[in-house]
């Protein structure tokens, strides 16, 4: 998939050495990321870069949606009614979404753009792992704690003290067991979305790279975007 990018950088570097490094700019990883971000946002036609523009936000929204659905379940289980709507829903929606967006963009999307990891499967697994942890496991820890705190504050449900750990575990099992099948479905959707997004981003990078190579062949000289070498 997107393993072509580092190979092309290698060919540029080799050609540069043949020409005594003339016209080749050595840049750091951070500089390469900044250039790639700018390049993606200015590339035309825009449909070539849609996986980069919309992929990460979609994954972030999925994580937020998972947090909202889980919080709705625990609010119902703890009989919260209208108590603590903002204090429970806001962190359930915002924190998973923000962290997912940051992790996916920094460690997956930018990895694809710079070609830092030549193993497509490794990047896809990384993306799916982040999505599972931040979209399911993290909200599973966050939402019952927030709901239980509000339930204890307003006395809507008998919440055991933390030192009564056996009672706490029993309460968690009692309120979480009905979520077994929905959780499995949600996890499957999150993982599938992450794998598909990463695959689409890799294919988009391939398409862009092929067009750059075609322009270079037609014009007879390296394009400014690729006439560089990343100093790793």
Q: Tell whether 28 is covered by a domain.
A: no
CA distance linking residue 55 with residue 199, whole number of Å: 10
Partnered with residue 27 across adjacent β-strands are 230
Q: Tell whether 67 is covered by a domain.
A: yes
pLDDT one-digit tens code per residue, 97-138: 999 999 999 999 988 887 788 888 999 999 999 999 999 999
pLDDT one-digit tens code per residue, 151-185: 999 999 999 988 888 898 899 889 999 888 999 99
pLDDT at 226: 46
Q: Could you give the number of structural domains in the chain?
A: 1
pLDDT at 126: 95
pLDDT at 162: 81
Q: What is the mean pLDDT of residues 43-59?
A: 89
Q: Does the pLDDT of residue 66 top 80, yes or no?
A: yes
Buried/exposed 161-173: b ≥16 CB within 10 Å, e otherwise: eeeeeeebeebee
Q: Tell whether 201 is covered by a domain.
A: yes
pLDDT at 60: 96
Domain membership of residue 127 as a residue range? 50-231
Q: Does the pLDDT of residue 94 top 90, yes or no?
A: yes
Report percent pLDDT > 70 for the chain.
81
Q: Tell whether 25 is covered by a domain.
A: no
Q: Tell whether 147 is covered by a domain.
A: yes
What is the chain's mean pLDDT, rounded? 82
Q: Tell whether 188 is covered by a domain.
A: yes
Q: Tell whether 37 is covered by a domain.
A: no
Q: Tell whether 178 is covered by a domain.
A: yes
Beta carbons of 5 and 205 less than 8 angstroms apart: yes
Query: Among 112, 117, 124, which residue's Cα sits nearest to residue 40?
Result: 112
């Amino acid at each position: 998939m997107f393993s072509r990018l580092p190979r092309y950088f290698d060919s540029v570097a080799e050609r540069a050495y043949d020409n005594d490094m003339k016209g080749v700019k050595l840049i750091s990883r951070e500089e390469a990321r900044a250039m790639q971000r700018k390049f993606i946002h200015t590339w035309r036609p825009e449909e070539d870069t849609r996986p980069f523009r919309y992929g990460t936000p979609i994954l972030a929204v999925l994580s937020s949606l998972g947090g909202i659905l889980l919080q709705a379940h625990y609010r119902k289980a703890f009989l919260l009614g209208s108590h603590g709507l903002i204090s429970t829903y806001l962190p359930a929606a915002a924190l998973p979404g923000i962290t997912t967006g940051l992790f996916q963009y920094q460690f997956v999307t930018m990895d694809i753009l710079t070609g830092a990891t030549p193993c497509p499967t490794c990047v896809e697994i990384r993306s799916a792992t982040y999505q599972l942890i931040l979209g399911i496991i993290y909200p599973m820890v966050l939402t019952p704690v927030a709901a239980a705190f509000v339930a204890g504050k307003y006395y809507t449900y008998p919440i055991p003290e933390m030192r009564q750990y056996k009672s706490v575990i029993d309460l968690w099992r009692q309120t979480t067991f009905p979520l077994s099948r929905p959780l499995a479905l949600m996890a499957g959707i999150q993982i599938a979305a992450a794998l598909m997004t990463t695959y689409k981003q890799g294919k988009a990078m391939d398409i862009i790279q092929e067009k750059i190579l075609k322009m270079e062949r037609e014009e007879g000289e390296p394009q400014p975007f690729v006439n560089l070498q990343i100093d790793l």
